[in-house]
Amino acid sequence: MAVTERIIFQPYTWGKPKRAGAQLEPGTPIACRSVEEGRRRTDKVAAGGTSMAGAILVRMEVDEDAGDYSEPEILESVGDVPEMEE
């Protein structure tokens, strides 16, 4: 049972407007090799260097053999992202 740390960059974009207006839509999550790599990605989003509305960088512990995932720890949140429940 090897537990490994995962750093995930989750981008968001604005979808096509619907009745209630445009909705934030999640993009494809990206597994980062390090927190620094993830922070470079969020910095780029924050600087407006992408077409993304926002992004969240999270860390979590994963036991792939058992299929267990810890609660994600939010490391950084930039731009427009969905509200998180506390």
Residue 67 confidence (pLDDT) above 90: no
Mean pLDDT of the 65-84 span: 89
* Helix ranges, the chain (H): 35-46
Length, in residues, of the chain: 86
Confidence label for 54 from pLDDT (cuts 50, 70 and 90) = very high
pLDDT of the residue at 15? 84
| Residue 18, token pair as written in the block | 């619907």
Summarize pLDDT for 6-29 with one digit per residue, the tens: 999 999 999 877 666 778 999 999
Residue 35 neighbours by CB under 8 Å, 6+ apart? 7, 57, 59, 75
Residue 52 confidence (pLDDT) above 80: yes
Contact 48/37 with Cβ under 8 angstroms?
A: no
Mean pLDDT of the 51-76 span: 91
